[in-house]
Structure 1
Amino acid sequence: MRPRAAALCVILVVLAGCSVPFSIGGEGTTGGPNGSGTNGAGDAGATATPDAPAQNLADPADDVLGWEGGYWYNESIPVTGTDGLNASEQSALVNRTMARIERVRGLEFESTVPVEVISREEFQGSPNATGGGARSPAFRTFDNAKFEALFLIGENNDSLAVQQSNSNQNVLGYYSPRNDSIVVVSDSETPKLGRSTLAHELVHALQDQQFNLSQGAPPTRDGYNARNGLVEGEARYVERRYESNCGGQWRCLDVGGAGGSGGGGDLHLGVYALEYFPYADGPAFVDAVYDRAGWQGVNDLYEDIPASSEQIIHPEKYGNDTPTNLTVRDRTASGWERVRPNGRPDYATLGQSGLSAMFGYTIYDDYNRSSVVRPDEFINSEGRSVNQTDPFDYALAYTDGWDGDRMAVYENDGKTGYVWKLAWDSPEEAREFVRGYRQLLSHWGGERVLGRQGVWEIERSSPFTDAFRVSRSGDTVTVVNAPQPSALDAVHARG
């Protein structure tokens, strides 16, 4: 066993105020970086800025950009926030924040967004915190195998429970497209409404009103991370532009801290890195599109959602590098059958973001002292601190050149195996991935099986004890997993 790297502690401190998405459909949030806060005297002294509408703060005859619910974006509100907010104060704060989001984003809210503030205790007892319903045995089997394949969650643990635990500790708030409302989670005895959290979730509400976040939920992890790279990326991008005005053009009231604190506790850093991807790389993707085509270019993204997390990591690939559509043919024997969850595809696509989290987690796990990538390859630092806005680098040498992947899961008498096919831009990129993957197997206690080409077996003391067959044909790599070497051909016969 090894002590966790010092960088782990740094990341826990830096990211404690951030949350991760816990359902498809935009219901996730992040606390964001700390803003400049208020001047300590609340907001009552704010005055109009030079670009105010003719210095006239009278209500307009019609709803206009930068005005919502009786408040201009640069209008003072009689709220100090020192003792929480009553209903009228919260309404004023929400409406003015909506007006400011309009001013930054250049889009009009179609209706007022209800906002509720609840305690973390209330949240953890709600359906949103418990997963929102039962999962079928086939779904659980499939999800467990997927996270085991990423070397993030061992087969003796429940992947859904680990993911939910991560979310429960860190969710600061969420917007529900189903209910057209925002819930903010407060860790204070007196419920507080954090400025960045409110701004972030209001961006989601604006996105939903303008682009309908409920449509076309992605069926795979990579599709989810790609879509949320846009949705969460834009929300963080707008949130940062909003924050940049605080202490300058605007006085910004904050009732509860600019970023919030989250619930603390024991985070699974590998799952965290996987789920944090949209917040880390999404803003830079949106910024690249904005620099090229302005807000209209960002609007157009909702008509043509990014096809992969690779396109978020490498914005120049958006629209130019369509992922390869792979197939996995069932070649099973001896009672092995494919796991087919109801209501979702019978395959997984994990993408470059998933692969990078897989390699990056070896920096943090406590299984042994090795790591497949160096901390400075995966962790973005600024001096002795981790970059608060973009902590992880998902463009690893072992994962660059990804061009598609597909995984099929199989089951036999309570045991699982899988076939994972990965396409790369070139044979050289495929070879590089294989080199990294072999190091990954070794990191987790794997050794080559004598007399079996490409076959590895991971020791029993490892959380990922299993057998693996790794083969490459040109630019395609195929990984076959089974409980022991003798079962590999039964899970997937050699082609």
Structure 2
Amino acid sequence: MKQTSFIAILLTILMLLLVMIAAVVFLVQRNQELTQMVEIQSSDQETMVEMSEDMATDLAVRQAALESAEATREALAGQITVDQERIQELKEELSQTESSLSQAESEIQDLAIQLFIFSPKDGAVVPPLEPVELFVAARSDAGIETIEITIDGEILVRYPSEGQPTSTIRTEWAPPEGEYLIEAVARDGDGRLSEPESVTIRAAFSTPAARTSALLRLTENEVIALRFPEPLETMVQPEVVEVNPDDLHQLLLTGRGVEESPFSDDDVLVLQALDLLPADTDTDDLINPAYDGTTLVYYDPDAEELTFYEPGDQPETFGRWVHIHDFTHQVLNETFQLDALEISSLDRDARSAVRALLEGEATYLQYLYAKGDYLEAEQQSEIFEGLSAAASNTMDDLPPYLQDEFAFAYSDGLLFVQSLHEQDGYSALNEAWLKLPESTEQILHPDRYRAGDRPLPVTIDPLGEDFENWRLVGEDVLGEYQLRQHLQALGLATNQIDQAATGWGGGRYVVYQNENNGDLILQLRLAWDTPEDSSEFAATYGTLLSQRYDGQGVALPGGDLCWEGEDATCLLTPAGDILIVRGPDLETVNAIVANQ
């Protein structure tokens, strides 16, 4: 019994223990559930806060949009009011215009012939040199036969209208600077004239700069119309070799660009060997504004006068006239693509010929413009007064040879261009740019250019091995013009120079210098058009050498002659050519001759 009670108690205790365990488990689970619920509620609360903030932002945006829409509505309402007022104004203006037209039509019907100038308005100020529209209308029951417009009494246009009852005329006129009276009159089919109608206008520039620009444009247009009266056919050009336009002047004159010195020490030695520069000349003596375009040249073929001048700031007519020269360069460069010329590859004589064509044409257009109908008499006087005022003596610092070399392109170049133009017009000049002159002989004798007389190739054998201490200083083509300068330097009279040099067919010079003592060797070889030309030159040059050496030359086997003094010169005639060899002594010259 006691055992049974114990078991019962034990079971009761176990049951209580199980109940307690179950209660603990239940409490733990409940605690976890509560914790999860708290976390969920916390997350929901954060979400609600974010949604609340988003709703507040959206509400603010909507409020701003509402305010903007309200402002736009108010602005549109204001604009509608303005537009309605403007529409009303336009209606009133239209009504007034219709009334005026009706009144004008009534007045026209009451008159036999009526004339109106609609444009320009009386008192108008217009830009000079720009087109102004002239609009005139006339009416007559008998029909309008003519309408005439005059400017300061000079007839601008007389328009036949074929008898229509109402006729209008529209034309353009570009007034120079000044004030003008424009008048119009009409004649009807019954021979009756209208009362003249007139307006006064003034053509004035807004600023001095506008005035200068407009006058230059006018001059440029006149020059283009003068030089190219007919459009050129499209030309196929060679591949362009880029040349800085600023280099063109000096490239043609010296073969070097503006970034280089126009002369080297060797250039000076060559010119000294050719008797074109004094022995004490150095490169610094040859620097001059002539080479950078500061000093210009004008040759007047009528007066046969050559003027060196530096334009500077001169009166406007003279300034416009000077501008023609550079503008012509620009037009010729663009039209005939002078940049395509490989100038540095041309020989000296060919460069001089091309330069003569370029400067000659620019100077010729200046001449034609000054002598033509483009200027009033007082403006023409202003040009030549300006030329006199701008005359420069800066070229006096250069040796005579270089003065002549510089001026050759302007004077002889102009005469060459003038000869082509007077014979075949501007088409001949266009052809000259497509088939460039190749020698100064062609410039001096335009008929030689027309005949296609090309310079003959001339070569000079190099010095032999015995001349190892001699270095080559320079060699190039000796053209007819430079030959003439050489003869002039030796003292030959002008008429004799022309006789001796005419007939030149080709030429070349070579100059060497002894590296030990600075002595020079000069070799000239000249080809001639005919044996008679060669013989004539040989006789003339022989006389010059006899004067130079104060004695007759010594004959060599074969009839050639040599002279000796402070230096020595031999005159030879190989194969019909002329070969001139000058050296420090006769032994040196004979050694060169033996090598030919």
After TM superposition, the score normalised by the length of structure 2 is 0.52
Amino acid at match of 1:307: E
CA shift digits 1:214-246 (9 cap, x unpaired): 323163331122112211121122111111126
SS of the residue aligned with 1:272?
helix
- Please list, as runs of the form range in 1=range in 2, the aligned pairs for 1:81-92 lying within 5 A after superposition: 87-92=209-214
Residue 172 of structure 1 pairs with residue 295 of structure 2: yes
CA 1:274–1:494: 2 relative to 1, 3 Å: same
The answer for the alignment partner of 2:587 in structure 1 is: 486
CA 1:450–1:430: 2 relative to 1, 3 Å: closer
Residues in 1 aligned to 2:421 and 2:456: alpha-carbon distance in whole angstroms: 27
Residues in 2 aligned to 1:470 and 1:51: alpha-carbon distance in whole angstroms: 73
The answer for the alignment partner of 1:69 in structure 2 is: none
Contact map agreement 1:334 1:490 (CA 8 A) in 2? no
Residues in 2 aligned to 1:201 and 1:146: alpha-carbon distance in whole angstroms: 32
CA 1:134–1:170: 2 relative to 1, 3 Å: closer
CA 1:436–1:132: 2 relative to 1, 3 Å: farther
Once the 2 structures are TM-superposed, how far is the Cα of residue 399 of structure 1 from its aligned partner?
A: 0.3
SS of the residue aligned with 1:331?
coil
Match of 1:198 among 316, 323, 334: 323
Contact map agreement 1:173 1:185 (CA 8 A) in 2? yes
Larger strand percent: 2
Once the 2 structures are TM-superposed, how far is the Cα of residue 148 of structure 1 from its aligned partner?
A: 2.4
The answer for the alignment partner of 2:386 in structure 1 is: 257
CA 1:315–1:429: 2 relative to 1, 3 Å: same
Once the 2 structures are TM-superposed, how far is the Cα of residue 57 of structure 1 from its aligned partner?
A: 1.7
SS of the residue aligned with 1:262?
coil
- Please list, as runs of the form range in 1=range in 2, the aligned pairs for 1:148-227 lying within 5 A after superposition: 148-158=272-282, 160-165=283-288, 167=290, 171-173=294-296, 185-186=310-311, 194-214=319-339, 215-217=341-343, 219-227=346-354
CA shift digits 1:430-489 (9 cap, x unpaired): 122122223433555564565765222354xxxxxx322111135300011212222214
The answer for the alignment partner of 2:481 in structure 1 is: 353
Once the 2 structures are TM-superposed, how far is the Cα of residue 104 of structure 1 from its aligned partner?
A: 1.3
Match of 1:281 among 385, 404, 412: 412
Once the 2 structures are TM-superposed, how far is the Cα of residue 105 of structure 1 from its aligned partner?
A: 0.7
Residues in 2 aligned to 1:208 and 1:456: alpha-carbon distance in whole angstroms: 49
Once the 2 structures are TM-superposed, how far is the Cα of residue 423 of structure 1 from its aligned partner?
A: 0.3
- In terms of mean alpha carbon deviation, does 420-429 or 100-109 score higher? 100-109
Amino acid at match of 2:545: L
Residues in 1 aligned to 2:210 and 2:227: alpha-carbon distance in whole angstroms: 26
Amino acid at match of 1:206: V
Amino acid at match of 2:562: V
CA shift digits 1:303-356 (9 cap, x unpaired): 21111111111111114211111111113323254526xxxxx63112111122
- Please list, as runs of the form range in 1=range in 2, the aligned pairs for 1:8-23 lying within 5 A after superposition: none
Amino acid at match of 2:386: G
Once the 2 structures are TM-superposed, how far is the Cα of residue 193 of structure 1 from its aligned partner?
A: 6.2
Amino acid at match of 2:319: G
The answer for the alignment partner of 1:57 in structure 2 is: 174
Residues in 2 aligned to 1:221 and 1:197: alpha-carbon distance in whole angstroms: 28
CA 1:491–1:242: 2 relative to 1, 3 Å: same
Contact map agreement 2:273 2:520 (CA 8 A) in 1? no
Once the 2 structures are TM-superposed, how far is the Cα of residue 400 of structure 1 from its aligned partner?
A: 0.3
Larger helix percent: 2
Residues in 1 aligned to 2:406 and 2:387: alpha-carbon distance in whole angstroms: 22
The answer for the alignment partner of 2:222 in structure 1 is: 100
Residues in 1 aligned to 2:576 and 2:203: alpha-carbon distance in whole angstroms: 61
Residues in 1 aligned to 2:372 and 2:156: alpha-carbon distance in whole angstroms: 13
The answer for the alignment partner of 1:397 in structure 2 is: 499
The answer for the alignment partner of 2:367 in structure 1 is: 240
Amino acid at match of 2:475: Y
Aligned length in residues:
364
Residues in 2 aligned to 1:154 and 1:234: alpha-carbon distance in whole angstroms: 33
Once the 2 structures are TM-superposed, how far is the Cα of residue 296 of structure 1 from its aligned partner?
A: 2.1
Residues in 2 aligned to 1:212 and 1:278: alpha-carbon distance in whole angstroms: 20
Once the 2 structures are TM-superposed, how far is the Cα of residue 358 of structure 1 from its aligned partner?
A: 2.5
Contact map agreement 1:222 1:351 (CA 8 A) in 2? yes
Once the 2 structures are TM-superposed, how far is the Cα of residue 372 of structure 1 from its aligned partner?
A: 1.7
SS of the residue aligned with 1:348?
strand
Mind listing any 5+ residue stretches in structure 2 that lack a counterpart? 1-127, 130-150, 158-170, 177-201, 233-245, 247-255, 298-308
RMSD: 4.3
Match of 1:230 among 330, 348, 357: 357
Amino acid at match of 2:564: E
The answer for the alignment partner of 1:31 in structure 2 is: none
Residue 296 of structure 1 pairs with residue 427 of structure 2: yes
Residues in 2 aligned to 1:192 and 1:251: alpha-carbon distance in whole angstroms: 10
CA shift digits 1:115-161 (9 cap, x unpaired): x9xxxxxxxxxxxx99632589xx532x2343224321133313x54
Residue 421 of structure 1 pairs with residue 551 of structure 2: no
Q: Identity rate of aligned residues, in percent?
A: 23
Residues in 1 aligned to 2:502 and 2:156: alpha-carbon distance in whole angstroms: 45
CA 1:457–1:94: 2 relative to 1, 3 Å: farther
Once the 2 structures are TM-superposed, how far is the Cα of residue 98 of structure 1 from its aligned partner?
A: 0.8
Residues in 1 aligned to 2:372 and 2:410: alpha-carbon distance in whole angstroms: 21
The structure that has the greater radius of gyration is: 2
The answer for the alignment partner of 2:570 in structure 1 is: 469
Once the 2 structures are TM-superposed, how far is the Cα of residue 50 of structure 1 from its aligned partner?
A: 9.4
SS of the residue aligned with 2:460?
coil
Residues in 2 aligned to 1:292 and 1:226: alpha-carbon distance in whole angstroms: 20
After TM superposition, the score normalised by the length of structure 1 is 0.62
Larger RCO of the pair (alpha carbons < 8 Å, separation 6+): 1
